[in-house]
Amino acid sequence: MAPPTPSSHRPRKKRKVAISPGSNNNLILDLGEGKQSPAFPLVSFLWAARAGVSQWLILPLVLMAVGLFRWAVSLWGYSGFQVPPMHGDFEAQRHWMEITTHLPLAKWYIYDLQYWGLDYPPLTAYHSWLLGKIGSTFDPTWFALDASRGFEDPHLKVYMRATVVVSEYFVFIPAVVNFLRRYTRMQGVHAWSASIALVAVLLQPANILIDHGHFQYNTVMLGLVVASLDAILAGRMLWACIFFVGALGFKQMALYYAPVMFAYLLGVCTFPRINIPRLVSIALITLATFALLLAPLMVGASNLEARKAFASSPVPPLLQALPIQMDKNSVTYGLLFQLMQIIHRVFPFARGLFEDKVANAWCAVHTFYKLTRFEATLLQRASLGATLASIIVPCAIIFRHPRASLLLPALSAVSWGFFLFSFQVHEKSVLLPLLPMTLLLAGNGGLSKETRAWVGWANMLGSWTMYPLLKRDELRVPYIVMTLLWAYVLGLPPTSFETYRSRPSPEDSSTHFEPSTLTTLLHFGFYLAMIAWHIVEAFVAPPPGKPDLWVVLNALIGAGGFGIAYLWCTWKLYTQCRQISRQATEEESQKKKQ
Amino acid sequence: MADLYPSLAQCAIVATAFKVLLFPAYKSTDFEVHRNWLAITHSLPIQEWYYEKSSEWTLDYPPFFAVFEWLMSQAAAYVDPAMLVVKNIGYDSWQTVYFQRATVILTELVLVYALSRFVKSVPLPNKQAAHVASLSILLSPGLLIIDHIHFQYNGFMYGILVLSIVLARKQSTLLYSGILFAVLLCMKHIYLYLALAYFVYLLRTYCLSLKSVFRPRFGNIFKLGFCVVGVFAVAFGPFAQWGQLLQLKDRLFPFSRGLCHAYWAPNIWAMYSFADRVLIFGKWCLPLTAHTTYELLTISVVAPRLGLPVNTDALNSVTRGLVGDTSFAVLPEVTKEHTFILTFLFQLVPLIKVWFNPGCWDTFVGALTLCGYASFLFGWHVHEKAILLIIIPFSLIALKDRRYFSAFRPLAVAGHVSLFPLLFTAAEFPLKTIYTVLWLVLFLFVFDRIAPVPERPRIFLFDRLSLLYLTVSIPLVIYCSLGHQLIFGWDRLEFLPLMFMSSYCALGVVGSWVGFMVVYFTA
């Protein structure tokens, strides 16, 4: 693409904020003699847009381009393809469409739990129902009850892949576009930088590989979280609650973000002065949204047939633990049964501390010091304690300084804390801390070398820890292509070392936007380790007796890196908070002088 | 100084990432064709290359392409030797797919090189336009659909063609341009359609004095003649030695095929066939207004019983989707001779200008484009893929001024949309449509911004029509890909969308041809 000829283009009106494109972000390198060049390839691709091309043109083009990459990844394998008898996540999602379209609501959470019983919250169930209904109009055999288990038709694959893309384009993409627009305006970032950040966020390799490769609907949950953040920026706290409850109701994993949202909303009601009506309305709207979310399932559980179905299935442990005795034929019993069953299914406390090899603290400790010697309850308590310890600082900061601009680093820090120390973590959960961290690219100085280096590094590391999973799904080629593409467009190793090279810049403020020597060494160490690991994994067989050695090594390196990412996010939160409060006091003192 | 960002290399890298992701996409029988050629050239002596017929996909490209396959087969032997066995018909292990797809991507580097030479060859004021034009060729949806999904090596061959065109720009490199074109002819004989333009241009600009037609430059004539004859001698000499030239002729020019390809390429004959269908409709069926469309088209069964002179074979022939003779029910038959004469005549017309403008590169490229048009529009058994023969030379001059661009616009839409039926699988539907729409929106917008204002005023009615034409494409594509199935179901009147599509596209191609003729002769 090329810029317009200067004569043919005249901006319609002057912008309110007089900032040159690329200010604060070092997007344009000055080569001297009036020559300019883009700082990294993504800037180059949007080079022509810097002269203020309409968003009505840029946005559709960007969305089409990133959509093409998503669809191309989806041509590859998915989780559980041709792996009977249980298959994988693709089959789980298909199976939920099958049971929700064919069974009454009362049976959704109790039907044949051994074969991919529904264990996601209600919004996922409704989503599956809708997709199952639409899919059945194309071909009812895709979702025939029981008969369709393990069905693997190419047309079914196309349909399922299309549902992921459509869900993403209905939820995640509008949320991210709106959020970035508001966030960049708030941070005083030029629209051109915002477009660049948008492309970077939408090309996040981990999201694309898991949702469109492995097969899941994470972007719906993430999109609802981003919509909630957007509502906060817009000052619509109640909408923020509704969207966030929606995210929780779609995937319980959104709980990683819950402490920050809670602390923020509580902080907003407490500082600068206590605002009781606001607190009450937030509490009420949250409860009402939860009630609305559960309402269809509750109505479905209130009839006689539902109670018959409940009578023939095992009583959920939570209900057994209740101290009261109830008549098994009463409506209340049916409702309680349904509620307890959903909670029991959604939060599987009976499972172990961690699953498979995941790059968090427990798995890392376990490698050297077997944790199985301890009782499960002790481990659960230890996990709870460690998680709380890791999130207490960011939560306290966001509670005391409930500023919208601090939300992103706080969310990243807290979700890194959860990922590292909490219970039952999947390798895919790394998407949660990566999202707010990647959104930092849109902030003030977000595309500067320093932030870009850290965010890019965390994304590379996150995708890398998922490699063993992606390898099982035959997604090696998309993994290589998407991660290298991300590194290339953002000018990161292994494709370019430009980010870590310091250059004399015309903008004198840029010095502290460059990565320090320590950062450079740290990142290079990790990049080297990742490359070396890939080489070893590909060409050297693990020693006999330790078949999982390479996977364990991957998890160990990953856990170390994520720990550093946690510290960086917390540090970022702390420094930004300091900066904001310093600015605030300066402004106040100036006012006093006047 | 114009900013040439993103650079060709940057676009090539991102495009390569996308193309690698397309490895598992749908591949046509052309994939098996090329695998079979790898096997034939690798495992048989040269004398048997053009006689081997275990597979129905016999070698029907000229010798240099066979040698190119032989070269690739040397590498293929390390990847998966099983793909080089002639008897392994339909073999497609993942190694084979990765290998063949990767060769398409790698050989396309020739195109990247040729385009960078093109940008370098352009003087500074026009550099930016040349850069944009070369990006549009590099990222062309035509190449993506035909090469990277359907499977062929057009990127490589058009790379050679572009390089040859660029070399034709300077007097000092004209000889190399001629040699390169001769080599190209020995790789794929479809480029014979452009040979006349090369012949006239080289004769006038290289072999005769620029100032006078009557002053031949014997040194140049000798050099060019020697080199071109040499190239052909190397390619065909051995086969002549073995007495195989007649066999080669039969393989390279299979004239038993019909006037139109299975799916009508959007040319004059598609319009002719469409007119024939409409006339059948009008002549016998219009008075019976109560009939539905479906009943009308069953007339082929009814009409003969009523004693009406309808050529029943003809009625269904075009709808069948088989490679065979097309015949017409109402309009007179078209013979090979007719198509040859028409093609030749319409190629000669633009060459007159080349003859009288010696050394004018723009005229030469315009003539190449018009030769491409003539052969595509009037040729015998034209493939829809041959549209690249027009689009790629035209792209090089489309940004000369706005008049060129307005002739290019309907071609860009019609030419690329006409490729859609090549890919009919559900998974590739979003790929082909979104990629093409992305390319059209992006490049038509950028072209529109940077195409300079022409020296002569334009006829503005043309713009309105072309805008109307663009708009119609949206409902048409929706109807052909979705609407038709919803209305008529999967298996009724399945030829109808194809017929609409090719007639619509034919209109665009013919329109842009007429428009470009006007621009070419008035410039």
For residues B117 and B160, state if they share a domain: yes
- Give the Cα separation of A531 and A520 in Å (integer): 16
Residue B437 confidence (pLDDT): 94
Are the C-beta atoms of residues A250 and A219 closer than 8 Å to each other?
no
Interchain CB distance below 8 Å, A76 and B450: no
B471 versus B177: the higher-pLDDT residue is B177
Range from A288-297, A381-390, A502-511, B335-344 carrying the lowest mean pLDDT: A502-511
For residues B311 and B445, state if they share a domain: no
Q: Output the CA angle A99-A104-A109, nearest 5 degrees.
A: 60
Q: Which two tokens stand for residue A170?
A: 């209905």
- Give the Cα separation of B417 and B411 in Å (integer): 10
Residue B477 confidence (pLDDT): 83
The helix/strand/coil state of B344 is helix
Q: Residue A37 belongs to what H/E stretch?
A: strand A35-38
Instruction: Please tell me whether the peptide bond between B6 and the residue prior to it is cis, using omega within 30 degrees of 0.
Output: yes
Top residue of A36, A50, A75 to mutate, by most chain B CBs within 10 Å, is A75
Residue of A nearest to B439 (CA): A61
CB contact B125 to A (< 8 Å): no
CA distance B442 to chain A (A): 7
Q: Which of B6, B17, B430 sits opposite A485 (nearest CB)?
A: B17
C-alpha B460, offset from chain centre: 29
Residue A503 confidence (pLDDT): 65
Q: Which of B14, B135, B426 sits opposite A485 (nearest CB)?
A: B14
CB contact A2 to B (< 8 Å): yes
Are the C-beta atoms of residues A533 and A359 closer than 8 Å to each other?
no
Residue span of the structural domain in which A308 resides: 301-347
CB contact A147 to B (< 8 Å): no
Q: Which amino acid is at A71?
A: W
Q: Which of A47, A65, A75 sits opposite B6 (nearest CB)?
A: A47
CB contact A65 to B (< 8 Å): yes
Q: Report if residue B363 sits inside a domain.
A: no
Burial classification of residue A414, based on how many CB atoms lie within 10 Å of its CB (0-12 exposed, 13-18 middle, 19 or more buried): buried
Return the CA Rg of chain B: 24
Residue of A nearest to B98 (CA): A477
For residues B154 and B30, state if they share a domain: yes
Residue B295 confidence (pLDDT): 43
If pLDDT is split at 50, 70 and 90, which confidence band does B469 have? confident
Q: Which of A1, A155, A161 sits opposite B6 (nearest CB)?
A: A1
Examine the fold and report which residue of B316, B333, B350 is the final residue of a domain before the chain moves on.
B333
Examine the fold and report which residue of A125, A144, A164 is the final residue of a domain before the chain moves on.
A164
Residues A295-308: b if buried by 16+ CB within 10 A, e if exposed: eebbebbbeeebbe
**What DSSP string runs through A3-32?**
PPPTTT---SS--SS---TTTTTT-EEEEE
Residue A13 confidence (pLDDT): 43
For residues B68 and B131, state if they share a domain: yes
Q: Output the CA angle B282-B283-B287, nearest 5 degrees.
A: 70
Sign of CA pseudo-dihedral A537, A541, A543, A547 = positive
Nearest to A207 by CA among A466, A9, A552, A381: A466
Q: Which two tokens stand for residue A440?
A: 């930092």
- Give the Cα separation of A310 and A344 in Å (integer): 14
Q: Report if residue A246 sits inside a domain.
A: no
Q: Report if residue A51 sits inside a domain.
A: no
Q: Report if residue B247 sits inside a domain.
A: no
Are the C-beta atoms of residues B382 and B267 closer than 8 Å to each other?
yes
- What ipTM describes this predicted complex? 0.92
Nearest to B22 by CA among A163, A41, A481, A206: A481
B219 versus B278: the higher-pLDDT residue is B219
Q: Which of B3, B430, B441 sits opposite A3 (nearest CB)?
A: B3
The three state secondary structure string of A223-264 is HHHHHHHHHHHCCCHHHHHHHHHHHHHHCHHHHHCHHHHHHH
Are the C-beta atoms of residues A344 and A317 closer than 8 Å to each other?
yes
Contacts with B54 (C-beta within 8 Å, 6 or more apart), sequence order: B86, B87, B89
What are the backbone angles phi and psi of residue B296, rounded to the nearest 5°? -60, -40
Residue span of the structural domain in which B479 resides: 398-522
Range from A368-382, A431-445, B292-306, B452-466 carrying the lowest mean pLDDT: B292-306
pLDDT of residue B213 exceeding 90, the answer is no
CB contact B493 to A (< 8 Å): no
Instruction: Please tell me whether the peptide bond between A85 and the residue prior to it is cis, using omega within 30 degrees of 0.
Output: yes
- Give me the total of CB pairs closer than 8 Å, taking one residue from chain A and one from chain B: 103
Q: Report if residue A573 sits inside a domain.
A: no
Burial classification of residue A590, based on how many CB atoms lie within 10 Å of its CB (0-12 exposed, 13-18 middle, 19 or more buried): exposed
For residues B221 and B304, state if they share a domain: no
Average pLDDT of the segment spanning A568-581: 93
Among all chains, which residue has been given the structure tokens 């008549």?
Answer: A327
A525 versus A49: the higher-pLDDT residue is A525
**What DSSP string runs through B434-477?**
HHHHHHHHHHHHHHHHHSPPPSSPPPSHHHHHHHHHHHHHHHHH
Q: Report if residue A224 sits inside a domain.
A: no
Residue of B nearest to A475 (CA): B21
Q: Which residues of A touch B2 (CB under 8 A)?
A: 2
Q: Report if residue B316 sits inside a domain.
A: yes
Residue A209 confidence (pLDDT): 97
Interchain CB distance below 8 Å, A35 and B431: no
Q: Report if residue B383 sits inside a domain.
A: no
Examine the fold and report which residue of B280, B308, B333 is the final residue of a domain before the chain moves on.
B333
Nearest to A40 by CA among A453, A379, A553: A453
pLDDT of residue B153 exceeding 60, the answer is yes
Q: Output the CA angle B445-B448-B452, nearest 5 degrees.
A: 155
pLDDT of residue B282 exceeding 70, the answer is no
Phi-psi region of A153 (alpha: psi -120 to 50; beta: other; left: phi over 0): beta
Q: Which residues of A touch B4 (CB under 8 A)?
A: 2
Examine the fold and report which residue of B333, B363, B386 is the final residue of a domain before the chain moves on.
B333
Distances A17 to A14, A230, A234, A523, B223 between C-alpha atoms, Å: 9, 22, 19, 36, 66
Top residue of B1, B3, B433 to mutate, by most chain A CBs within 10 Å, is B3
Residue A379 confidence (pLDDT): 85
CB contact A317 to B (< 8 Å): no
CB contact A68 to B (< 8 Å): yes
Q: Which residues of B touch A41 (CB under 8 A)?
A: 6, 10, 13-14
Q: Which residues of A touch B3 (CB under 8 A)?
A: 2-3, 36, 47
CB contact B210 to A (< 8 Å): no
Q: Report if residue A14 sits inside a domain.
A: no
C-alpha B262, offset from chain centre: 16
Examine the fold and report which residue of A115, A148, A164 is the final residue of a domain before the chain moves on.
A164
For residues B307 and B206, state if they share a domain: no
Range from A172-186, B137-151, B275-289, B316-330 carrying the lowest mean pLDDT: B316-330
- Give the Cα separation of A379 and B438 in Å (integer): 53
A553 versus A505: the higher-pLDDT residue is A553
CB contact B6 to A (< 8 Å): yes
Residue A160 confidence (pLDDT): 96
Q: Report if residue B311 sits inside a domain.
A: yes
Q: Report if residue B366 sits inside a domain.
A: no
Residue A263 confidence (pLDDT): 96
The tens digit of pLDDT for each residue in B67-78 reads 999 999 999 999
Residues A190-225: b if buried by 16+ CB within 10 A, e if exposed: bbbbbbbbbbbbbbbbbbbbbbbbbbbbbbbbbbbb
- Give the Cα separation of A269 and A240 in Å (integer): 14
The tens digit of pLDDT for each residue in B166-198 reads 999 999 999 999 999 999 999 999 999 999 999
Nearest to A216 by CA among A307, A121, A91, A306: A91
Task: Give strand pairing partners of B216.
Answer: B208
CB contact B20 to A (< 8 Å): yes
Are the C-beta atoms of residues A116 and A92 closer than 8 Å to each other?
yes
- From first CA to last CA, the distance across chain A in angstroms is 51
Average pLDDT of the segment spanning B9-28: 96
The tens digit of pLDDT for each residue in A325-357 reads 777 888 888 898 999 999 988 887 666 666 667
Top residue of B134, B449, B453, B486 to mutate, by most chain A CBs within 10 Å, is B449
The tens digit of pLDDT for each residue in A464-501 reads 999 999 999 999 999 999 999 999 999 998 998 888 88
pLDDT of residue A407 exceeding 70, the answer is yes
Interchain CB distance below 8 Å, B10 and A8: no
Q: Which of B23, B426, B438 sits opposite A61 (nearest CB)?
A: B438
- Give the Cα separation of A565 and A577 in Å (integer): 18
Among all chains, which residue has been given the structure tokens 């903008």?
Answer: A507
Range from B47-61, B331-345, B492-506 carrying the lowest mean pLDDT: B492-506
Residue B452 confidence (pLDDT): 86
Interchain CB distance below 8 Å, A5 and B438: no
CB contact B451 to A (< 8 Å): no
Interchain CB distance below 8 Å, B18 and A69: yes
Average pLDDT of the segment spanning A397-418: 94
Among A residues 456-485, those touching chain B with beta carbons less than 8 Å apart:
477-478, 481-482, 484-485
For residues B130 and B194, state if they share a domain: yes
Sign of CA pseudo-dihedral A108, A113, A117, A121 = positive
For residues B266 and B234, state if they share a domain: no
CA distance B132 to chain A (A): 6
Q: Report if residue A172 sits inside a domain.
A: no
Contacts with A478 (C-beta within 8 Å, 6 or more apart), sequence order: A73, A76, A209, A213, A470, B21
For residues B324 and B435, state if they share a domain: no
Distances A311 to A107, A334, A342, A345 between C-alpha atoms, Å: 12, 9, 16, 17
- Give the Cα separation of A43 and A46 in Å (integer): 5
Task: Count Cα atoms within 13 angstroms, Cβ side, for A407.
Answer: 27
Q: Which of A1, A72, A162 sits opposite B18 (nearest CB)?
A: A72
CB contact B487 to A (< 8 Å): no
Interchain CB distance below 8 Å, A44 and B7: yes
Contacts with B95 (C-beta within 8 Å, 6 or more apart), sequence order: B79, B80, B83
Domain count, chain A: 2
Q: Report if residue A145 sits inside a domain.
A: yes
Cβ neighbour number for residue B60 with a 10 Å cutoff? 16
Examine the fold and report which residue of A122, A148, A164 is the final residue of a domain before the chain moves on.
A164
For residues B429 and B514, state if they share a domain: yes
For residues B213 and B168, state if they share a domain: yes
For residues B230 and B329, state if they share a domain: no
pLDDT of residue A567 exceeding 80, the answer is yes
Q: Which residues of B touch A481 (CB under 8 A)?
A: 17, 20-21
Q: Report if residue A311 sits inside a domain.
A: yes
Q: Which two tokens stand for residue B388?
A: 């690249």
CB contact A36 to B (< 8 Å): yes
- The single-letter DSSP state of residue A274 is -
The tens digit of pLDDT for each residue in B70-100 reads 999 999 999 999 999 999 999 999 999 999 9
Quote helix, strand, coil % in chain A, to nearest 5.
70, 0, 30
Q: Residue A38 belongs to what H/E stretch?
A: strand A35-38
Task: Give strand pairing partners of A35.
Answer: A32
Task: Go through chain A and tell me how many residues it has.
Answer: 594
pLDDT of residue A314 exceeding 90, the answer is no
**% of chain B surpassing 90 pLDDT:** 60
Domain count, chain B: 3
B292 versus B107: the higher-pLDDT residue is B107
